Amino acid sequence: MLSPTYAIPALPPAGVDLETVEVLRALAPAHRHLAELKGSARSIPNQGILVDTLTLQEAKASAEVESYFTTQDELFQAELIPAESISPAAREVLRYREALKRGFGRMQDQQDLLTSSTLIDLFQYMKNSAESFRHAPGTVLKNDRTGKVVFVPPQDNAQITRHMGDLEQFINAPDERRLALDPLVRMAIIHHQFESIHPFSDGNGRIGRILCVLYLVKEGLLDLPVLYLSRYINRNKPEYYRLLQAVRDEGAWSPWIVFMLQAIAVTAESTVRLVHGMRDLMASTKQHMRDELPSVYSQDLLNNLFRHPYTRIEAVVNDIGVSRQTASKYLKQLQEIGILTAQTRGKNTYFVNEPLVQLISEGE
């Protein structure tokens, strides 16, 4: 059996200054932008719209870290057609989005506990597998470019299970133990520990990023899992992996924590701009509908146009409970007054909320 190249530490790591001057300096903007995002998210009347839209963006960016590439257009269309008709990459993204929402739901059901069983459930759902933590030895992490082995995680299932049990206790520690460290510093430590244990045969990066967002919700720093860290990680992928390994090789915790805090600050700030844009666009679209089509306007129909940037007759039928004929009439009237644009892709006709698609795509 291979020998691990890094001794998984007890948490928090002993004898390490985790709140250096650099970390404390990075904490202030991270907390400020997170608090602004939490408040901004509450300004959207229908929180489900925000969860659906922003978790899809996180899913897309997270899949790109793992080299699954798709487009916004394909994803918005794929939400409304049978799974067998969409590409493997889009299918991966949509499963990640549902896994994130699933984890959020399980955590709420478990009184905000974030457990190993939840992470196992997310892995099984994403991979459509009955596997749990790794059993087969031989897992190594290699440099994609050179093929050189850079890290060997724990190989023995009993060790993996024990390390994950310890991590679960650290995540869900009582208040008096949690308060010893800032929750954002704890999040950075938790993410590193999870990636170093590497408990699953696949999907560890994606599940590790879900873990980050759910932990922020658990700690009350967000109400909803709407921060998509994966975009920042994807744009800074070499630095992310370098700092991840530097902790293992050199004990360089401070630069790693600062990187994660910067990821939080940057992505929270950009997400606030997106939420404000969505709020303003919803308000202007609502007024446009009321002015031009007062007999058609309903809050449910407005919600449909923002939950499904590419909507179809069937989606309107399902969401607002009207007949197919009525749904078709509504969509064509919305097209006539310029709120929607009709596009035909193969056998499917979509009615596109182009201003929303443009708004969402601006940050890519």
φ, ψ of residue 348 to 5 degrees: the values are -105, 140
Is residue 144 annotated as involved in ligand binding?
A: no
Is residue 288 annotated as involved in ligand binding?
A: no
Is residue 31 annotated as involved in ligand binding?
A: no
In single-letter form, the type of residue at position 308 comes to H
How many Å apart are CA 278 and CA 13, to the nearest integer?
Answer: 42
Is residue 339 annotated as involved in ligand binding?
A: no
Is residue 338 annotated as involved in ligand binding?
A: no
Is residue 228 annotated as involved in ligand binding?
A: no
Is residue 205 annotated as involved in ligand binding?
A: yes
> CB-based burial of residue 362 (10 Å sphere; 0-12 exposed, 13-18 middle, 19+ buried)?
exposed
Is residue 15 annotated as involved in ligand binding?
A: no
Residue 198 annotated as catalytic: yes
Q: Compute, in degrees rounded to 10, the torsion defined by CA atoms 209, 211, 213, 216.
A: -140
Tokens 């400020």 belong to: 32
> CB-based burial of residue 108 (10 Å sphere; 0-12 exposed, 13-18 middle, 19+ buried)?
exposed
Is residue 68 annotated as involved in ligand binding?
A: no
How many Å apart are CA 237 and CA 67, to the nearest integer?
Answer: 11
DSSP symbols for 340-358:
-EEEEETTEEEEE-HHHHH
Is residue 204 annotated as involved in ligand binding?
A: yes
- Dig out the tokens for 341 from the structure: 């644009």
Tokens 């950009």 belong to: 270
How many Å apart are CA 350 and CA 76, to the nearest integer?
Answer: 10
φ, ψ of residue 16 to 5 degrees: the values are -120, 135
* C-beta of residue 189 within 8 angstroms of C-beta of residue 12: yes
Tokens 């509450």 belong to: 42
Q: Which 8-state DSSP code applies to residue 13?
A: P
In single-letter form, the type of residue at position 276 comes to H
Catalytic residue among 33, 192, 198, 308: 198
How many Å apart are CA 50 and CA 228, to the nearest integer?
Answer: 12
Is residue 203 annotated as involved in ligand binding?
A: yes
Is residue 312 annotated as involved in ligand binding?
A: no
Return the active site residues: 198
Task: Summarize the annotated binding site for ATP as residue ranges.
Answer: 66, 198, 202-209, 240-241
Query: What residues are designated binding site?
Result: 66, 198, 202-209, 240-241
